[in-house]
């Protein structure tokens, strides 16, 4: 079996490499040696080039500034340098807003359920936040190809305007439909306009270190998920909901200015790209399984983010103030989890790291949250309160860490199966399907809570099932490409 040397130019395999090129699926190329059976599909080359013939030798010098191509017709990746890391910082700032607010929906859900929308069922209130998350991902159907054609600047600017309007108008909302429009629609579309081009722009500067750099950018969402709940915990009793959200709006403006100034692309533009998803990509069975795996993962991911705070408050094992802090603890673990698995993914393989984190998500759910949910009704009367509190805190930390990669590793796993200049379409097609999981996941969990009489054990089991199915799909997708070889970096 032959592989390109580390640091080689991303490119198509040619006869000079003594490899046979097999175009099994559109826009995705795999290489097998002539001696292997022609139907055997193996791991795609760790790097690729859109055009070109020869693979140059690895350059000497600082790896941070090492270019991965030397021909004008080739796609090159600086893998570092001032401009590249400024784009990562811009992506971090965009994530603080786009994903930071998303990681705080549990606080908004708990507050609205106790105040403005206290007469509405749990599953109905959940639609506000499910629409937000749905639009944040579904809008990738438009944003991905527009990014390919025109770059990120106008997209990020538009997202900044919408997120600012959402935060400043949220304080004057009083009816259910007000929150749907202001938080769900404005916030969801604005979030998508921020983080989709931010992550895609990072991919223009990194290939070998793409998982690590994307993880650093995505960690901004967890950072926002730490500071926003703690701020709301302090501000809601002191200044009220209206001014608390306005203060968040000023923070949004600050972060968005940084994002607008720093995020830029560098690969050639591709005008005239279709803004519709390309469902023919699903003829790639591995890509289909990857999409299903992400679908099930997103189905379960936002359940703890949304309902962990209300679970903690309703269990009687901790105060309402600490239940707000719990989501900050969750996001603190997630902050590390968005970067560390990304760093490991560049060393051990992107699919390998994602599979390990999905397994950890499932294991912590069944080990910590499920027992806490089962014994929580007794803790309300004082029995087992310490046990429930301990299990919940441990779950928040470990699951927060494990689930952090659920966001940061998805883009690089998608990029593992496509050419870089087709990434926008692949990512958009994937999330056109996956976004429907985010639309329905939170209301389904809310309905389960209602069905079980306000207890959370049913929702926890549903979360566990989602992660188990996601894990199975990722393992199957990997197996289609590299078989059961555990030592293969993929």
Q: pTM for the full model?
A: 0.76
User: Stretch 15-37: mean pLDDT, rounded?
Assistant: 32
User: Stretch 284-304: mean pLDDT, rounded?
Assistant: 93
User: Stretch 364-387: mean pLDDT, rounded?
Assistant: 82
List b or e across 239-250, with b for residues whose CB sees 16 or more CB atoms inside 10 angstroms: eebeebbbebbe
CB 182 within 8 A of CB 55: no
Tell me what percent of the residues of the chain surpass a pLDDT of 90. 40
CB 91 within 8 A of CB 199: yes
What is the distance between the alpha carbons of residues 70 and 83, in angstroms, rounded to a whole number?
Answer: 19
For 456-468, the pLDDT digits (tens) are 999 999 999 999 9
In this prediction, residue 28 has a pLDDT band, given cuts at 50, 70 and 90, of: very low
Q: What is the pLDDT of residue 131?
A: 95
Q: What is the pLDDT of residue 425?
A: 76
Most confident of 314-323, 356-365, 415-424: 356-365
Burial class (CB in 10 A: 0-12, 13-18, 19+), 253: middle
**Domains, the chain:** 82-482 (1.20.1250.20)
Q: What is the pLDDT of residue 63?
A: 40
User: Stretch 136-142: mean pLDDT, rounded?
Assistant: 79
Q: Which H or E run includes 32? A: strand 28-32
Q: Worst-scoring range by mean pLDDT, 99-103, 221-225, 341-345? A: 341-345
* Whole-Å CA distances, 257 to 146, 204, 260, 356: 21, 21, 5, 36
In this prediction, residue 381 has a pLDDT band, given cuts at 50, 70 and 90, of: low
Q: Which H or E run includes 141? A: helix 140-150
What is the distance between the alpha carbons of residues 320 and 89, in angstroms, rounded to a whole number?
Answer: 34
DSSP state of 7: T
- In 3D space, the residue among 204, 184, 258 whose CA is nearest the CA of residue 77 turns out to be 204
């Amino acid at each position: 079996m032959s592989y390109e040397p580390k640091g080689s130019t991303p490119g198509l395999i040619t006869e000079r490499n003594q490899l046979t090129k097999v175009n099994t699926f559109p826009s995705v190329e795999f290489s097998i040696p002539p001696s292997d059976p022609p139907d055997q599909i193996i791991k795609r080359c760790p790097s690729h080039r859109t055009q070109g013939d020869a693979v140059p030798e690895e350059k000497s010098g600082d790896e941070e500034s090492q270019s991965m191509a030397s021909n004008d017709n080739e796609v090159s990746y600086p893998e570092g340098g001032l401009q590249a890391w400024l784009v990562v910082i811009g992506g971090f700032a965009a994530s603080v807003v786009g994903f930071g607010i998303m990681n705080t929906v549990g606080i908004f859900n708990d507050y609205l359920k106790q105040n403005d929308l206290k007469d509405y069922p749990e599953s109905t209130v959940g639609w506000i936040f499910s629409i937000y998350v749905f639009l944040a991902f579904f809008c990738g159907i438009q944003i991905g190809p527009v990014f390919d054609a025109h770059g990120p600047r106008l997209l990020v600017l538009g997202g900044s305007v919408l997120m600012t309007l959402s935060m400043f108008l949220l304080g004057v909302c009083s009816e259910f439909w007000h929150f749907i429009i202001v938080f769900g629609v404005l916030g969801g579309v604005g979030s998508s306009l921020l983080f989709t081009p931010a992550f895609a722009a990072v991919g223009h500067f990194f290939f070998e270190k793409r998982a690590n750099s994307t993880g650093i950018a995505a960690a901004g969402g967890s950072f926002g998920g730490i500071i926003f709940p703690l701020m709301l915990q302090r501000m809601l009793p002191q200044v009220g909901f209206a001014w608390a959200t306005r203060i968040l709006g000023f923070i949004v403006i600050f972060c968005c200015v940084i994002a607008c100034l720093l995020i830029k692309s560098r690969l050639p533009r591709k005008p005239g790209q279709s803004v519709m998803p390309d469902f023919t990509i699903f003829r790639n069975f591995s890509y289909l399984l990857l999409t299903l795996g992400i679908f099930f993962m997103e189905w379960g991911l936002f359940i703890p983010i949304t309902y962990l705070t209300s679970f903690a408050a309703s269990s009687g094992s901790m105060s309402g103030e600490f239940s707000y802090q719990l989501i900050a603890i969750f996001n603190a673990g997630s902050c590390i989890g968005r970067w560390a698995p990304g760093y490991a993914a560049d060393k051990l393989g992107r699919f390998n790291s994602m599979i390990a984190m999905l397994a950890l998500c499932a294991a912590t759910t069944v080990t910590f949250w499920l027992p806490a949910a089962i014994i929580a009704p007794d803790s309300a009367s004082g029995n087992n309160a310490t046990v429930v509190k301990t299990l919940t805190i441990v779950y928040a930390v470990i699951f927060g860490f494990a689930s952090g990669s659920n966001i940061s590793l998805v883009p690089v796993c998608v990029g593992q199966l496509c050419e870089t200049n087709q990434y926008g379409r692949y990512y958009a097609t994937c999330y056109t399907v996956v976004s429907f999981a985010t639309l329905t996941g939170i209301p389904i969990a809310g309905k389960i809570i209602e069905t079980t009489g306000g207890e959370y054990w049913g929702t926890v089991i549903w979360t566990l099932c989602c992660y188990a199915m996601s894990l199975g799909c990722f393992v199957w997708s990997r197996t289609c490409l590299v078989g059961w070889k555990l030592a293969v970096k993929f």
